[in-house]
Amino acid sequence: MALLVQKFGGTSVGSVERIEKVADKVKKFRDEGHDLVVVVSAMSGETNRLIGLAKDIMDEPTPRELDVLVSTGEQVTIALLCMALHKRGCEARSYTGGQVRILTDNAHTKARILEIDENNIRADLDAGRVVVVAGFQGEDESGNITTLGRGGSDTTGVALAAALKADECQIYTDVDGVYTTDPRVVDSARRLDSITFEEMLEMASLGSKVLQIRSVEFAGKYNVPLRVLSSFEDGPGTLITTEDDENMEQPIVSGIAFNRDEAKLTVSGVPDIPGVASKILKPISDANIEVDMIVQNVGEDNHTDFTFTVHRNDFNKAKAILEKLCKELEAREVKGDSKIAKVSIVGVGMRSHAGVATTMFEALSKEGINIQMISTSEIKISVVIDEKYLELAVRSLHGAFELSEKPA
Amino acid sequence: MALLVQKFGGTSVGSVERIEKVADKVKKFRDEGHDLVVVVSAMSGETNRLIGLAKDIMDEPTPRELDVLVSTGEQVTIALLCMALHKRGCEARSYTGGQVRILTDNAHTKARILEIDENNIRADLDAGRVVVVAGFQGEDESGNITTLGRGGSDTTGVALAAALKADECQIYTDVDGVYTTDPRVVDSARRLDSITFEEMLEMASLGSKVLQIRSVEFAGKYNVPLRVLSSFEDGPGTLITTEDDENMEQPIVSGIAFNRDEAKLTVSGVPDIPGVASKILKPISDANIEVDMIVQNVGEDNHTDFTFTVHRNDFNKAKAILEKLCKELEAREVKGDSKIAKVSIVGVGMRSHAGVATTMFEALSKEGINIQMISTSEIKISVVIDEKYLELAVRSLHGAFELSEKPA
């Protein structure tokens, strides 16, 4: 008999039929005796429809009013889900963010949760009701409606779980868990029973977009056990938890993430003097271009090469900036390549195992794949390679680290 | 420089284009220096769409959740209208019913307004902002969202006007005012510059469905000057006000209302003894059938005829009840006619003018129209006639009372 917070995203509540399916699932858990707080998103397509209406009026709608507008999406879903639960003889009550009250700052369209008043919810749970909460929204100190930004329903779920000290926060999505890598690339990719928050953050930011990064950070910070499950099939999903959990798998490498949205830029023959890195990167960040990997080699003859990656959409803009800068820096030349991909191995086990990098590089070398850049952190090693080798690289690494098999 | 409450219905805000037109209109009034509180309905069709979603789940959706659902309709409109005003450089702020706060009882889907907190609105008006309020909704003491029932946006407008002691409550609709009768029946029907609350109530309940009856009652009770205008054209509309207003037209008859939704039932040869009327009507009201006109003639030979009208949809049901009852009452027979129409002349001037009924009956007689029933109140005379003479009757009465011409 646990207290569970369950979050269902837009696809899971995308039609009346699907809302009825969610109600079936919630009812099942309720019948098993669990206390339930259910967080829902807007029906898929609804938020975009509402934003479309606003954009028909003005290109940059007033943030306060945009929040008033889009927050109606979740409000529709909470009402419909409660009706579907009532139909099943399951007592339930809906709450908007403001009704809970989920207090946020007043940064409209990207507000942060400051405090959650758990009293109303607790009273309903004690009375045997399922509590259905609108995700993605709250209100500020003055009672203005705020939203947490896209994907914010995950954050609502985690924040509620933290406030209520729930046993688990379950995020229902259209995938049945977190995989060792993308199953569309590697047939034998395996669903992980568990993964650490840190690994999940590395996987998510590298392209395995199962969960909103902010909600994973939040769950990690407040130590809320997070589980990713499928809305459409039964199954245990993947539990995201802290490293010291005793049930935790401890493989060396947990998964392979990849990303083909990047492009590489090199300024070569740069005078190797203090301050040159910031001289190169400042105009890039001033132009609002985000930089991912940065590599600078040991120089020769007082000159060095400076390489970094940016989102492929920013490639031309960044290249133009660097070319202008080249003369000023007395650098030799600017080279760029937008046909690259980044592949990373991620795993907390790396910390205590030597030779992980060697295994990775050998696997790639065996396939004749040249490594263009390397970057490492405590729990991940990323390499940049020619884009055309991406699938081959992922498959060979998946095999080399035996990810298809469950660790002993 | 007046304080005006302006209410725009669903048709007036039925699309982004129309919302922009409303913003133009509001801006114009603001530029003239008026303080404005604008009440809006849901975009036309939206409330029905939402109710449709609920009905897909259950035939009788939980009232509390139905209110959570349908109240999103107006919330969308307030946000969009504020954006359209901002686009025009006009400061504006939106309020849901709960944010105002419009306190209601907890009779979900048909709540009554108990109290309006005017402080937030007043502060915004003082700061030079247009205040945009979601019609049709409020919240109860516990913060649950409530709705006032269909057409409740008019009530919100009037209630806000009363609370703020506004100079006028302007109801924008798709007609440009209240007419002496339906212009589709009488070409020369004339827009009235003004009409009393009492006349308006008689006109509205008789089929001139320009305003929700409840809002007219409310306006009368709190003495809020109410004006009906067109959203789509400029014009003075019709002012609905108290009789003693000096600008008031005082014709004998203000307008001709009619209704073809009724049917007539007669129980004839009923023993003329005390209590017989209630014996006939009780089973009818027990079956939830509303009775409109009731006429009982002076009896002969201790027997009388008892006639009443019901909505045409209830005709068969009511007839069956009476036929069952006929024996028990020892009445002679039950007769019914569903091909009737009711025509009424309405006017506060009747009170002080004799001969109005005579003029009416003569006009009908001149056209060979037989009067089947007569019923009178202080400010109206209604007759039931054969349905086929309806248009002829309305036109002849409109002429007989010279309604096409403005009174001196």
A172 pLDDT more than 80: yes
B89 pLDDT more than 90: yes
Residues of chain A contacting residue B62, judged by C-beta atoms under 8 Å apart: 82-83, 86
B41 pLDDT more than 90: yes
Per-residue confidence (pLDDT) for residue B93, from 0 to 100: 98
The SS3 call for residue A402 is coil
Q: Do A82 and B65 touch (CB under 8 A)?
A: yes
Name the nearest CA neighbour of A12 among A27, A23, A2. Answer: A23
Domain ranges of chain B: 3-173
Q: Do A54 and B143 touch (CB under 8 A)?
A: no
How near does any CA of chain B get to the CA of A173, in Å? 22
Q: Do B87 and A58 touch (CB under 8 A)?
A: yes
Average pLDDT on A264-289 reads: 88
pLDDT grade for A267, boundaries at 50, 70 and 90: very high
Q: Do A66 and B79 touch (CB under 8 A)?
A: yes
Q: What is the mean pLDDT of chain B?
A: 91
Per-residue confidence (pLDDT) for residue A105, from 0 to 100: 95
Is A7 within any annotated ligand binding site?
Answer: yes
B150 pLDDT more than 70: no
Task: Supply the ipTM of this predicted assembly.
Answer: 0.81
Per-residue confidence (pLDDT) for residue A384, from 0 to 100: 93
Per-residue confidence (pLDDT) for residue A244, from 0 to 100: 60
Which one is predicted more confidently, B13 or A203? B13
What is the distance between the alpha carbons of residues B384 and B339, in angstroms, rounded to a whole number? 10
Per-residue confidence (pLDDT) for residue A33, from 0 to 100: 95
Per-residue confidence (pLDDT) for residue B378, from 0 to 100: 84
Model confidence over A132-165: pLDDT tens digits?
999 999 999 999 999 997 668 999 999 999 999 9
Is B152 within any annotated ligand binding site?
Answer: no
What is the distance between the alpha carbons of residues B108 and B149, in angstroms, rounded to a whole number? 9
Average pLDDT on A59-71 reads: 96
Average pLDDT on B43-52 reads: 95
Is B173 within any annotated ligand binding site?
Answer: yes
Is B222 within any annotated ligand binding site?
Answer: no
Q: Do A54 and B83 touch (CB under 8 A)?
A: yes
pLDDT grade for B135, boundaries at 50, 70 and 90: very high
Model confidence over A23-60: pLDDT tens digits?
999 999 999 999 999 999 999 999 999 999 999 999 99
Topology of domain B3-173, per CATH?
A: Carbamate kinase (3.40.1160)
Per-residue confidence (pLDDT) for residue B118, from 0 to 100: 95
Average pLDDT on A271-290 reads: 87
Taken in order A54, A56, A57, A62, the sign of the CA dihedral is positive
Name the nearest CA neighbour of B116 among B170, B149, B168, B160. Answer: B160
B207 pLDDT more than 60: no
Per-residue confidence (pLDDT) for residue B206, from 0 to 100: 59
Question: Do the beta carbons of residue A380 and residue A346 sit within 8 Å?
Answer: yes
Per-residue confidence (pLDDT) for residue B249, from 0 to 100: 52
- Please tell me which of the candidates B61, B64, B83 has its beta carbon nearest to residue A62: B83
Per-residue confidence (pLDDT) for residue B316, from 0 to 100: 95
Average pLDDT on A332-340 reads: 93
Which of A31-45, A200-214, A320-334, B8-22 is predicted with the least confidence, judged by mean pLDDT?
A200-214
Per-residue confidence (pLDDT) for residue A376, from 0 to 100: 85
DSSP code of residue A300: B
Residues of chain A contacting residue B86, judged by C-beta atoms under 8 Å apart: 58, 62, 65
Per-residue confidence (pLDDT) for residue B408, from 0 to 100: 63
What is the distance between the alpha carbons of residues A142 and B389, in angstroms, rounded to a whole number? 61
Average pLDDT on B357-368 reads: 92
Per-residue confidence (pLDDT) for residue A208, from 0 to 100: 55
- β-pair type (A238-241, A226-230): antiparallel
Question: Do the beta carbons of residue B199 and residue B236 sit within 8 Å?
Answer: no
Which one is predicted more confidently, B101 or A261? B101
For every residue of A331-385, DSSP letters joined together read -SEEEEE-SEEEEEEE-GGGGG-TTHHHHHHHHHHHTTPPP-EEEEETTEEEEEE
Is A255 within any annotated ligand binding site?
Answer: no
Q: Do A57 and B16 touch (CB under 8 A)?
A: yes
Q: What is the mean pLDDT of chain A?
A: 91
- Please tell me which of the candidates A64, A75, A83 has its beta carbon nearest to residue B58: A83
Per-residue confidence (pLDDT) for residue A248, from 0 to 100: 53
Residues of chain B contacting residue A95, judged by C-beta atoms under 8 Å apart: none
Average pLDDT on B317-343 reads: 92
pLDDT grade for A249, boundaries at 50, 70 and 90: low
Pull the structure tokens for residue B202.
Answer: 């008689």
Per-residue confidence (pLDDT) for residue B248, from 0 to 100: 53
Model confidence over A354-399: pLDDT tens digits?
788 889 999 999 999 999 998 888 889 999 999 999 999 999 999 9
Which of A40-44, A201-205, B99-103 is predicted with the least confidence, judged by mean pLDDT?
A201-205
* DSSP element (H, E) containing A228: strand A226-230
Question: Do the beta carbons of residue B291 and residue B309 sit within 8 Å?
Answer: yes
Nearest residue of A to residue B69, measured between CA atoms: A76
- Report the residue of A13, A21, A38, A53 to disrupt the B interface, i.e. the one with the largest count of B CBs within 10 Å: A53
Nearest residue of B to residue A66, measured between CA atoms: B79
Residues of chain A contacting residue B64, judged by C-beta atoms under 8 Å apart: 93-94
Residues of chain B contacting residue A80, judged by C-beta atoms under 8 Å apart: 53-54, 57, 65, 69
pLDDT grade for B284, boundaries at 50, 70 and 90: very high
- Please tell me which of the candidates B16, B76, B96 has its beta carbon nearest to residue A56: B16
Q: Do A57 and B143 touch (CB under 8 A)?
A: no
What is the distance between the alpha carbons of residues B216 and B196, in angstroms, rounded to a whole number? 10
Per-residue confidence (pLDDT) for residue A121, from 0 to 100: 97
How near does any CA of chain A get to the CA of B176, in Å? 27
What is the distance between the alpha carbons of residues A182 and A193, in angstroms, rounded to a whole number? 16
B224 pLDDT more than 80: yes
Which of A303-317, B30-44, B54-68 is predicted with the least confidence, judged by mean pLDDT?
A303-317
For every residue of A37-104, DSSP letters joined together read EEEE-PPTTHHHHHHHHHHHH-SS--HHHHHHHHHHHHHHHHHHHHHHHHHTT--EEEE-HHHHTEEE
Model confidence over B158-203: pLDDT tens digits?
999 999 999 999 999 888 889 999 888 999 999 999 999 888 888 8
- Please tell me which of the candidates A65, A87, A98 has its beta carbon nearest to residue B58: A87
How near does any CA of chain B get to the CA of A5, in Å? 21
Residues of chain B contacting residue A61, judged by C-beta atoms under 8 Å apart: 83
- Please tell me which of the candidates A79, A87, A98 has its beta carbon nearest to residue B69: A79
Pull the structure tokens for residue A16.
Answer: 């009346």
B119 pLDDT more than 70: yes
For every residue of A172-203, DSSP letters joined together read EESSSS-BSS-TTT-TT--B-SEEEHHHHHHH
pLDDT grade for A22, boundaries at 50, 70 and 90: very high
Q: What 3 state SS string does chain B have?
A: CCEEEEEECCCCCCCHHHHHHHHHHHHHHHHCCCEEEEEECCCCCHHHHHHHHHHHHCCCCCHHHHHHHHHHHHHHHHHHHHHHHHHCCCCEEEECHHHHCEEECCCCCCCCEEEECCHHHHHHHHCCCEEEEECCEEECCCCCEEECCCCHHHHHHHHHHHHHCCCEEEEEECCCCCECCCCCCCCCCCECCEEEHHHHHHHHHCCCCCCCHHHHHHHHHCCCCEEEEECCCCCCCEEEECCCCCCCCCCCCCEEEEECCEEEEEEEEEECCCCHHHHHHHHHHHCCCCEEEEEECCCECCEEEEEEEEEHHHHHHHHHHHHHHHHHHCCCEEEEECCEEEEEEECHHHHHCCCHHHHHHHHHHHCCCCCCEEEEECCEEEEEEEHHHHHHHHHHHHHHCCCCCCCC
